[in-house]
């Protein structure tokens, strides 16, 4: 992952949320460029345009028919001709749907909306305004050519997509720790893929902003089906992740591991990791030990770095599980027990990515058992294993940060436990689920605020209709 040449600087967006806000603002600007009256008058003007034999004749007919100034008539004629001869490529899929239908029929938006996927008439009106606003934003009356051979329906805009995913070269650690990460990109790709029809959506207002994401869904599907070892490394910059994946495709997993190890061979790289880790609470609590492991790795003393990192990876998850309250202090808790609990378990933590979960159980834990129990003695010169553990620590710190930002892991199971008796006490629920009482008490207070539970003064709890609907999958709860 060394620099192979000059490249353009990329303008990064701080988060997926910021990107979506930017897109929403662009869309709203187009909506504001056209009123519903504009939409209606453009369609009405079309009847006069189709009966005209020249540009001026069309303008005169529209001005007389609608009793409007010539300047307004010219604008309406221009918009109508553009819609039918030079369709905008900056319109959302929903906008194209309602706009195409509106201008090829005489039906009202109220009549057209039920045949679209748009939820309400009000939203359909906004998408129609976006459709017209996008054309208004692009129209240049002087460049339009009058034609008396207009198509019956507005043509669908077509684009030749020549998409390249930006994959900048890594130069040491700095590039790898950018804020736009694989996990953000994958969330966006998944959201877009599940919400929109790509064939229309990328002819839309999102094209410029999201063009690089248009084939991410297919790429992630390919990665998911492969035996690529580092699928779990989701908090590095997307470009770095894809470079790592390309290395795997061309040379295999060992070559990809070599690429990761190469990022840790410079003293500045190790220093960079230490500085980066300082933003995580878990690192602060274990800094002296982790720093010793990082220094040992830099010095090639893998017999020290590897077992030390294995213990710290385990300890970070144990501490997190106990702090949250999903496990009791007297429980025989291990890192693999915390990470490995799947869906259906009261201790399942959904914030742990499945790829990370699988890797931890199938790769990390067997190494931990064999090395820390003295069954393996062949790792003293295993640079790649030591490097993998450092990168795994990097991902673990991000994962734990995500876990600590959520608190509702046990809500479903708490509510379900309450339904097993007409009235339950907080202590009884905690005992049934083997949670800490304080955690159950806090979650019950939150569930009461969401009208899912009733908590009596004596600590007894009972489920409400809202709680039943949540358990049945008929509604969601918001903290």
The reply to whether 182 and 238 lie within a common domain is yes
Place of tokens 């339950």: 424
> At 461, phi and psi to the nearest 5?
-125, 145
CATH number at residue 467: 1.10.10.10
SS3 463: strand
The reply to whether 21 and 139 lie within a common domain is yes
377 domain-assigned = yes
Q: Are 166 and 11 in contact (CB under 8 A)?
A: no
The reply to whether 400 and 274 lie within a common domain is yes
Q: Are 221 and 161 in contact (CB under 8 A)?
A: no
The reply to whether 293 and 378 lie within a common domain is yes
What is the pTM for the complete model shown?
0.59
The reply to whether 98 and 194 lie within a common domain is no
477 domain-assigned = no
Q: Which segments in the chain show pLDDT lower than 50? A: 1-16, 158-180, 184, 192, 194-214
- Residue 8 confidence (pLDDT): 40
The reply to whether 252 and 272 lie within a common domain is no
Report the number of distinct structural domains present in the chain.
4
Burial (0-12, 13-18, 19+ Cβ within 10 Å), 60: middle
4 domain-assigned = no
- Residue 356 confidence (pLDDT): 93
pLDDT, tens digit (0-9, with 9 covering 90-100), for 420-444: 876 589 999 999 999 999 999 999 9
10 domain-assigned = no
Please identify, among 261, 288, 309, the residue that sits at the C-terminal boundary of a domain.
Answer: 261
The reply to whether 184 and 274 lie within a common domain is no
Place of tokens 């606003």: 133
Q: Are 277 and 290 in contact (CB under 8 A)?
A: yes
Please identify, among 385, 404, 423, the residue that sits at the C-terminal boundary of a domain.
Answer: 404
Please identify, among 261, 290, 323, the residue that sits at the C-terminal boundary of a domain.
Answer: 261
- Residue 373 confidence (pLDDT): 93
The reply to whether 424 and 334 lie within a common domain is no
478 domain-assigned = no
Which segments of 69-118 are extended strands (E)?
none
148 domain-assigned = no
Burial (0-12, 13-18, 19+ Cβ within 10 Å), 9: exposed
The reply to whether 39 and 132 lie within a common domain is yes
Q: Are 56 and 145 in contact (CB under 8 A)?
A: no
- Residue 319 confidence (pLDDT): 94
Residue 23 structure tokens: 């897109």
- Residue 167 confidence (pLDDT): 31
465 domain-assigned = yes
Residues β-bridged to residue 424: 461
The reply to whether 222 and 276 lie within a common domain is no
> 378: which residues sit within 8 A by CB, 6+ positions away?
none
The reply to whether 275 and 394 lie within a common domain is yes
The reply to whether 254 and 322 lie within a common domain is no
Integer distance in angstroms from the first to the last C-alpha of the chain? Answer: 42
User: What is the domain extent for residue 85?
Assistant: 16-143
232 domain-assigned = yes
């Amino acid at each position: 992952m060394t620099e192979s040449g000059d490249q353009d600087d990329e303008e990064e967006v701080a988060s997926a949320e910021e990107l979506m806000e930017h897109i929403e603002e662009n869309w709203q600007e187009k909506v504001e460029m056209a009123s519903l009256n504009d939409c209606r008058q453009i369609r009405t003007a079309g009847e006069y345009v189709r009966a005209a034999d020249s540009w001026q004749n069309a303008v005169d007919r529209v001005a007389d028919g609608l009793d409007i100034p010539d300047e307004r008539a010219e604008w309406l004629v221009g918009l109508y001709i553009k819609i039918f001869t030079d369709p905008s490529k900056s319109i959302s899929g929903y906008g194209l749907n309602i706009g195409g239908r509106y201008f090829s029929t005489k039906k009202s938006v109220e009549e057209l909306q039920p045949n679209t996927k748009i939820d309400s008439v009000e939203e359909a009106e906004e998408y129609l305004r976006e459709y017209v606003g996008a054309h208004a934003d692009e129209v240049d009356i002087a460049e339009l050519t009058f034609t008396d051979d207009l198509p019956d329906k507005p043509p669908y805009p077509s684009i030749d997509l020549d998409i390249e995913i930006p994959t900048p070269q890594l130069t040491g650690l700095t590039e790898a720790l950018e804020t736009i990460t694989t996990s953000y990109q994958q969330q966006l790709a998944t959201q877009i893929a599940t919400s929109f029809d790509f064939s229309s959506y990328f002819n839309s207002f999102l094209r410029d902003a999201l063009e690089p994401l248009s084939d991410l869904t297919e790429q992630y599907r390919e990665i998911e089906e492969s035996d690529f070892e580092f699928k779990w490394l989701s908090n590095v910059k997307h470009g770095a992740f894809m470079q790592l994946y390309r290395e795997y495709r061309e040379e295999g997993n060992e070559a990809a591991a070599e690429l990761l190890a190469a990022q840790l061979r410079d003293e500045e790289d190790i220093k960079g990791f230490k500085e980066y880790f300082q933003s995580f609470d878990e690192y602060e609590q274990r800094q002296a030990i982790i720093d010793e492991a990082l220094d040992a790795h830099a010095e090639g003393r893998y017999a020290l770095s590897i077992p030390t990192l294995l213990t710290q990876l385990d300890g970070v998850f144990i501490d997190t599980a106990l702090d949250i309250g999903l496990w009791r202090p007297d429980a025989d808790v291990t890192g693999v027990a915390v990470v490995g609990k799947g869906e259906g378990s009261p201790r399942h933590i959904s914030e742990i990515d499945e790829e990370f979960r699988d890797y931890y159980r199938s790769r990390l834990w067997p190494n931990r058992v064999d090395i820390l129990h003295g069954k393996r003695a062949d790792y003293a010169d295993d640079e790649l294993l030591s490097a993998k553990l450092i990168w795994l620590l990097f991902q673990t710190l991000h994962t734990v940060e995500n876990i600590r930002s959520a608190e509702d892991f046990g809500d479903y199971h708490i509510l379900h436990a309450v339904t097993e008796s007409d009235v339950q006490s907080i202590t009884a629920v905690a005992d049934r689920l083997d949670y800490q009482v304080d955690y159950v008490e806090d979650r019950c207070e939150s569930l009461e605020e969401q009208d899912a539970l009733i908590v009596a003064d004596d600590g007894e709890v009972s489920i409400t209709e809202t709680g039943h609907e949540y358990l049945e999958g008929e509604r969601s709860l918001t903290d």
